[in-house]
Amino acid sequence: MTDENDHLKPPTKREMKSAARLYAVQALFQMEAADMTVDKVRRQFYDHFFGLKTEEEGEFIDGDSDLFHEITEIAVNDQAKVDQMTNRALVAKWPIARIDSTLRALFRAAGAELLSGRTPPKVVIVEFVDVAKAFYPDGREPKFVNAVLDHMAREAHPEAF
């Protein structure tokens, strides 16, 4: 049973990290779609998403800004490395350039977090499969994301498996 005052409680660290991952995927998507710099997109997210409350949309959870910054930074600075890791996890006929732009942003964000090495790989997989479920609630994409991220995580951190 949920407490009717749940909306008054501050988000947990885990919820803030999950929100940061979702925002990172959205930011990377927006960078590609609108040809924006990482700094400009980050500013927009800090100003318009982190903890924002609106009548139409409700409340956006406050994200972990350090994790958001780290994921977007690594995804941009090491994009070639992340994309190559993703390509090796995809079927040869489906290079990263051919996949849906939302999935591309998701793989870049997850790959960046895997490269950072601060989060256990299995946690990264679970968290980004949840992000995939948010974008594709009725599709097969979450299973696809799980398979690709499992391959990427085993490459980046074989000792964890």
Determine the structural domain holding residue 42 and report its residue range: 13-156
141 domain-assigned: yes
The CA distances from residue 10 to 16, 22, 62, 68, 154, in Å, are: 10, 18, 9, 18, 35
Q: What is the 3-state secondary structure (H, E, C) of 84-143?
A: HHHHHHCCCCCCHHHCCHHHHHHHHHHHHHHHHCCCCHHHHHHHHHHHHHHHCCCCCHHH
Closest by CA to 103, choosing from 59, 152, 60, is 152
The reported pLDDT for the residue numbered 2 is 47
6 domain-assigned: no
Q: Assess contact for 18 and 130: CB atoms under 8 A.
A: yes
18 domain-assigned: yes
Q: How many structural domains comprise the chain?
A: 1
Q: Looking at residue 105, which CATH number applies to its domain?
A: 1.10.940.10
27 domain-assigned: yes
pLDDT in tens, the chain (161 residues): 445 555 567 889 999 999 999 999 999 999 999 999 999 999 999 888 887 665 665 567 788 999 999 999 999 999 999 999 999 998 766 777 788 999 999 999 999 999 999 999 999 999 999 999 999 999 899 999 999 999 999 999 999 99
